[in-house]
Amino acid sequence: MLLDTVEHETGPNPQWAVLWLHGLGADGNDFAPIVPELVRKDWPALRFVFPHAPVRAVTINGGARMRAWYDIRDFDLESRADLAGVDESIRQVDALITHEVERGIAPSRLLLAGFSQGGAITLAAGLARQQPLAGLIALSTYLPMPITTAQERLQPQAHTQPLFMAHGVFDPVVPPAAGEAGMQAMRRFGFEPHWRRYPMQHQVCAEEISDLGDWMTARFAAVQG
């Protein structure tokens, strides 16, 4: 079954989609307010899709049940993510992408974005894509698996996907070093990350939204040109 979603279209008959994954404990409404701040007048019509992650017990939060893309077992980056949960979420993301294809939007016109835990799924799903997307956006996040595991899942054409990654230098939730390690790993896998750091904590900021808008403008031009 498809995950429930919040959707917002910026114009009639959108030919592009942005699938945006929220962070731990939030839901699909969390990033919906970013649409008017991000979207530019000269962009093509977009369909923003903000799915709700399933509700599950999260070990690191005392087993409390909340919306999460996977269980977080401990603070150690090498073992914190429940890989079965990561794989389940990748399948759910793939189902949402297939749904957009059925609605007339090709993968080459779909951007996959995510913040924090949602960004981790964006990176993991991007590695596993056999059919490349228009781009990947990973904000304040990390690679949720060991390098060797990620290498095993890497598809031959995955590295052709443009990648925007950004992190706050004062992030107390996902250490900046973890974000940079994820970026360097993606670089070793053949990606060319557009990497930015901002003087912020575990959040987004106006400068980041502006830089992301510039990057998205380039993605639209690359396909339409």
Q: Catalytic residue positions?
A: 116, 171, 202
- The token pair at 99 is 């749904």
Task: Give the chain as a DSSP string.
Answer: -PPPEEEEESSSS-SEEEEEE--TT--TTTTTTHHHHH--TTSPPEEEEEEPPPEEEEGGGTTEEEE-SS-B--S-TTT-B-HHHHHHHHHHHHHHHHHHHHTT--GGGEEEEEETHHHHHHHHHHHT-SS--SEEEEES---SS-HHHHHHH--TTGGGS-EEEEEETT-SSS-HHHHHHHHHHHHHTT--EEEEEES-SSS--HHHHHHHHHHHHHHHHHHH-
Residues listed for the chain:
225
